[in-house]
Structure 1
Amino acid sequence: MNMRKVLTLLLGASFLAVFVTSCDLDDDGKYSVGDFIVSLGVVQKENPSDNSYVIQLDNGDSFVPMATSVPYFNVYNNQRVWVNFNPLDDKSNSDGSLTYYGKVNDIREILYKNISNASKVSADSMGYDPVNVKDIWMSQDSILNLKIAFYTAGSTHYINLVNDETGNGVDQPYMLDLKHNARGDEQAYRTSGIVSFKLGTLKAAGNDSINFIVRYTNYDGQTVQEPVMTYHYGS
């Protein structure tokens, strides 16, 4: 498995990890041009050659772009994105969610990776540089998100989440090590961003949920273990 995937972190800026909205309906019940919604989401694009796609937002709503201010942005299926859009219309769905229609103001790719197993990666490729975790949460039922911070001079860093394979997820939580490889980069300035990982491979036979812990080494040289989290995946 190639662990050297480029870290796409929106470097140099700290973007909101929650659903943010600034929308007021005008007199005819429609949105205004100045309204916007900011959210994380996952792209759903059935046909690679088709320009149309839908973004499944983390709060359960969805967004259908009708126009964009960033036509050069390459969109592909199952892509994790941060999106800022101007809603111009919406419809209610049977599950209570909303489907928005509007214009993309800005869109950025978020690092979105599988969780690796320690036995299948070389130790030197994972990296042992410090990293700080500012926030951690789950979304869309199976996505683990971390807002992280580290120091850089602007070069590419590598981030991975590695299962050390000591736990079973039931009586002993899976231990997931957040690995940072700065590749010798100078610690010139602090930057932060969001990374996301797919929880789908973390299952236990005969159970509909598992427990896990995220562990990392911070800039004070301390090994930090986040509180136990539970991933419910059903039968």
Structure 2
Amino acid sequence: MKKLSYYLLLLVLVLVPTLQSCDLDDDDGYSLGNYTIALGTVKVDAGNVSFVLDNGEKLWPAATLVPYKNLENGTRIIGNFTLLSDAQNGFDHYVRLNDYSVILTKNIINLTEENKDSIGDDPVRITDMWVGGDYLNVEFDMNIPGALKHRVNLVKNTTLQYPDDGYIHLEYRYNDMNDVTDYVAHSIVSFSLGDMGVGHTDKKGLKIRINSAVNGEKVITIDYKDLQTNKSIAALPGKMKERIN
């Protein structure tokens, strides 16, 4: 499968000597030496933890190399999985969970005259942006802070009147708190789209205004009609890179 950007190597470095990447739709059997990396959401049902990938596939962790049962329902993760079986008992695959990282997950908030200063509008260096599941996922680079935690938000700007063009208008905002170092980090954040997501609205898609560190203010358009569910692909990054910054 197509994997996320280079920073996901953190999930596989310790596994490189023994594992090799595979596709979810490989038909040459299952090997404990293979792995696949995907974004997903934790589902907890009666105390049992499973994972729902952004393409809708359901994974049951029949084995694990790391503790995971303290994960809370709705937590977003990037998971490194080894496939163990085809569909059974309501799941698309039984898997071994090799490792995972928790993704910062936030809701869309309203930007108002009262909170616009704290939300900020510092220039951003977005490396990718895509819709997966009911989330807008944003990969970005940032100069890490010295002491103060930076803030990223997806907002509905209530101080502006947007055109009635059939799209949902949002803004990606960043506040570096005037506290940056020379060290650069790569990260990801997921924003829950809720009733603004694919299949939950009659809108044509999203128009997201960003303040690019490269090209200044611009709008990224994501058309929902272009989004297709592919059961063999668990994450679809890379589609927007040529249109960002």
If the length of structure 2 is used for normalisation, what is the TM-score?
0.70
Structure 2 unaligned segments of length 5 or more: list them: 1-5, 10-19, 227-245
Structure 1 unaligned segments of length 5 or more: list them: 1-12
Deviation, 1:84, is 0.3
Partner residue, 2:37: 38
SS at match of 1:171: coil
Partner residue, 1:226: 220
Partner residue, 1:184: 178
Ranges of 4+ aligned residues in structure 1 off by more than 4 Å: 23-26, 167-170
Kindly provide the amino acid, as one letter, of the partner of residue 22 in structure 2.
S
SS at match of 1:60: coil
The answer (yes or no) to whether the contact 1:65–1:104 under 8 Å persists in 2 is yes
| CA pair 103-198 structure 1, distance change in 2 beyond 3 A | same
CA RMSD of aligned residues (A): 3.2
The answer (yes or no) to whether the contact 1:169–1:212 under 8 Å persists in 2 is no
Greater mean alpha carbon deviation, residues 142-151 or residues 223-232: 223-232
Kindly provide the amino acid, as one letter, of the partner of residue 67 in structure 2.
P
| CA pair 70-209 structure 1, distance change in 2 beyond 3 A | same
Q: 1:159 aligns with which of 152, 173, 177?
A: 152
CA–CA distance in 2 between the matches of 1:120 and 1:63? 44
If the length of structure 1 is used for normalisation, what is the TM-score?
0.73
Partner residue, 2:64: 68
The answer (yes or no) to whether the contact 1:63–1:101 under 8 Å persists in 2 is yes
Q: 2:137 aligns with which of 131, 141, 145?
A: 145
**Percent of residue pairs bearing the same amino acid type:** 32
The answer (yes or no) to whether the contact 2:162–2:169 under 8 Å persists in 1 is no
The answer (yes or no) to whether the contact 1:170–1:211 under 8 Å persists in 2 is no
Partner residue, 1:86: 82
- How many corresponding residue pairs? 204
The answer (yes or no) to whether the contact 2:82–2:97 under 8 Å persists in 1 is yes
Q: 1:116 aligns with which of 87, 109, 122?
A: 109
Deviation, 1:25, is 6.2
| CA pair 180-40 structure 1, distance change in 2 beyond 3 A | same
CA–CA distance in 2 between the matches of 1:88 and 1:72? 18
Partner residue, 1:5: none
Deviation, 1:121, is 6.2
1:131-175: CA deviation from partner (whole Å, max 9, x where unpaired): 1122221122x2211111221156532111011134578526333
